[in-house]
Structure 1
Amino acid sequence: MKTLEAKVAMVSGGADGIGRAVVERYIREGAKVAVLDINESKLESLKAAYPEELITVHGDVTCYEDNARAVADTVAAFGKLDIFVGNAALFDYFVPLRKLAPEQLEQSFDKLFHVNVLGYMNGVRAAMAELKRNQGAVVLTVSNSGFYPGGGGILYVTAKHAVVGLIKQLAYEMAPDVRVNGVSPGATDTEMKSVDGISDRAQPLNHINGFRDNAANAVPLKRIASPEDHAAFYVVLASNEQSPMTTGCVIHSDGGWVAR
């Protein structure tokens, strides 16, 4: 039997990168999946690839109503919701505090934290009743920036540290009915975009000159991760059979950053 046979998951930020890898792995493991994402063209591509196994919802994770609509659509399509995966995120192009103009700071902070932190809260809050009803699980994407400096700028690193706290607090609040955990990927070959206007040099993460080599050389395993390299951990943490006593924890999938 497949690990997630007969389970239903909702993945925010699931149309590309790590999110899409999780969606595709969940489908292979037998789950039905709903994907909430702001990128319509990538949602269409995903739906074309998996017309029977998933539904797509175009929406913004910073809007609670869009999250609630995604949950309602999921239950309408598949009858229930067992798993919520929060994955949508913005980067900050490594910008330090000293390079953020004072008049720009509040706007940049609001935009990044609304996606990277409030987006997760919105998703969990919208899914909470269904997850409790089904003894479900929450899995949130962290980052090695949730534990160490230097993997982003002041906004991204601070926000990812906040996600670690969010996981611990939600695990405490939602027990014993719902388990809440996280996966902490290291540098990954994805096109994660930065907050608009944060730097005139900003570009998608894996378009940065030397990004892949620098990321590989920074960790003991000496290679940059693909999105698929992380997906198995999202399966383990979503399964009440494979991780029944695990909550409030974060699994590191970062090439050995902690061993440096």
Structure 2
Amino acid sequence: MSGWLEGYAALVTGGGSGIGRAVAERFLAEGAAVTVFGRDGDRLADVVRSAADPSRVHAVTGDVRDCHRLHTAVAETVERFGKLDTLVANAGVWDYHRQLTRLSAEELDTAFDEVFSINVKGYLLAAEAAWPELVKTRGSIVMTLSNASFYTNGGGPLYTASKHACLGLMRELAYELAPKVRVNGVACGGMNTDLRGPEALGMRDRSIGASFAKKRPDAPPPPIPLHDSSTDPRDFTAPYVLLAAREQSGPITGHAIQADGGIGVRGFARAAGGDHL
């Protein structure tokens, strides 16, 4: 590892599994101290136990929709590690491509509130809790975005709209917090994680990882240019390190690194999404 984050202190929301855990572990390997924040205390405890140096990992349980728990996480990070250099806003849910035509009015009403409160408001509340400490360190925020922040069909309308909103939020905060705090994002493509769906749609226990496990060995590759690229979340973590390290990306803010296998140069897989209607 490069050691680019030696002496840094970071807070990662959704840090108990998936890309959040992978980023937390990569930050530790790069020399940082890390607070992992999430709803599942057992998973957070496992991150601490698995660390080579558990003294550099702190776990705080909470929901990103709870502003008080996020303030607690920031305060405990500063108390434990002396400062906060980087916030990784990451916790989220996916809608499993549930199209508008497959949603009832009631489902749409409740699922919209859940998806946006986690995927968008959760990022904004985390930024609100962290920005005063980040100003002190001239730190940064790195948001987990998605190919759905730029293109269609990375999810259904709920997820796609929420991730487009996160892109706008990232750009707005990059302006509002400059010049003291840099705000960037990593727009990830599909990966093999335990990302769950909205509870409002009965998808709380549904996992992308389970879908990967069921995939046949002879299944056709995904329709992206780098179709043989890794789906291991650990292989998506380098852009987070780059954007967190002020010595490596000091002039960069309001930018999203697209780590999505080249979806943007693929074009649409189908001419129209509603040909079945």
TM-score bracket, shorter-length normalisation: over 0.9
Query: What 5-or-longer segments of structure 2 have no aligned partner?
Result: 267-277
SS at match of 1:142: strand
Mapped contact 2:197–2:203 kept (Cα < 8 A): no
Mean alpha-carbon deviation: is it higher for 144-153 or for 44-53? 44-53
Letter in 2 for 1:220: P
SS at match of 2:247: coil
Partner of 1:232: 238
Mean alpha-carbon deviation: is it higher for 43-52 or for 192-201? 192-201
Q: TM-score normalised to the size of structure 2?
A: 0.89
Partner of 2:16: 15
Larger Rg: 2
Cα displacement string for residues 42-96 of structure 1 (whole angstroms, at most 9, x for unaligned residues): 1111111122121000000011001000000101101110100001000111111
For 2:57 and 2:97, the matched residues in 1 are separated by: 35
Q: What is the CA-CA distance between 1:206 and the residue it aligns to? A: 2.5
Q: What is the CA-CA distance between 1:201 and the residue it aligns to? A: 11
Partner of 2:275: none
Partner of 1:180: 183
Mapped contact 1:187–1:215 kept (Cα < 8 A): no
Letter in 2 for 1:59: G
For 2:216 and 2:124, the matched residues in 1 are separated by: 31
1:222 aligned to which of 219, 227, 249: 227
Letter in 2 for 1:155: L
Query: What 5-or-longer segments of structure 1 have no aligned partner?
Result: none
Mean alpha-carbon deviation: is it higher for 90-99 or for 207-216? 207-216
Q: Percent same amino acid among aligned pairs? A: 41
Tell me how many residue pairs correspond in the alignment. 260
SS at match of 1:217: coil
Letter in 2 for 1:18: I
SS at match of 1:57: strand
1:65 aligned to which of 64, 68, 71: 68
Alignment CA distance shift 1:17-1:215 (3 Å): farther
2:158 aligned to which of 152, 155, 158: 155
- Runs of at least 4 residues off by over 3 Å: 199-202, 209-216
Partner of 2:274: none
SS at match of 2:201: coil
1:99 aligned to which of 98, 102, 106: 102
Mapped contact 1:93–1:202 kept (Cα < 8 A): no
SS at match of 1:30: coil
Mapped contact 1:233–1:251 kept (Cα < 8 A): yes
Mapped contact 2:146–2:187 kept (Cα < 8 A): yes
For 2:59 and 2:203, the matched residues in 1 are separated by: 33
Q: What is the CA-CA distance between 1:199 and the residue it aligns to? A: 5.4
For 2:94 and 2:38, the matched residues in 1 are separated by: 16
Q: What is the CA-CA distance between 1:119 and the residue it aligns to? A: 0.5
RMSD of Structure 2 on Structure 1 (CA): 1.9
Q: What is the CA-CA distance between 1:41 and the residue it aligns to? A: 1.3
